[in-house]
Amino acid sequence: MAKNVEAARVRWLEASENASKLALEMYQPGSGYGDPKAEAADKYRVEAARADVQRLMQEYHDIDRQFNDQRISELQKSQTLATWASFTVAFVVGLTTIIGTILQLIK
């Protein structure tokens, strides 16, 4: 699961970097398009790249949240098991002490 989180993060960061590069290439001051259709197509490409970045960021956050929820659940289960083990040991020690005391009194 950790590999999935890392892979999603890498995809998001790469898409973000590519979208930034694309935007920088297209929006140079004084470049002057001249062709409104080409300008509209370039703007669409930048917006599509930004939407892809947003989608990948959301995917990364969802996978990361699932991973963290899974880790928390595992820790809670482990903590519950440790608590029951501690209670069991305390019970056995208490029972042994009571039996030992009764045997001492009988003698």
Section 87-101 average pLDDT: 95
42's CB contacts (< 8 A; 6+ apart) are: 26, 33
Cβ atoms within 10 Å, residue 24: 10
- Mean pLDDT for the chain overall: 88
Q: Is the pLDDT of residue 27 over 70?
A: no
Give the predicted TM-score (pTM) of the model. Answer: 0.65
User: 20 or 70: whose pLDDT is higher?
Assistant: 70
Q: Is the pLDDT of residue 75 over 70?
A: yes
Q: Is the pLDDT of residue 37 over 70?
A: yes
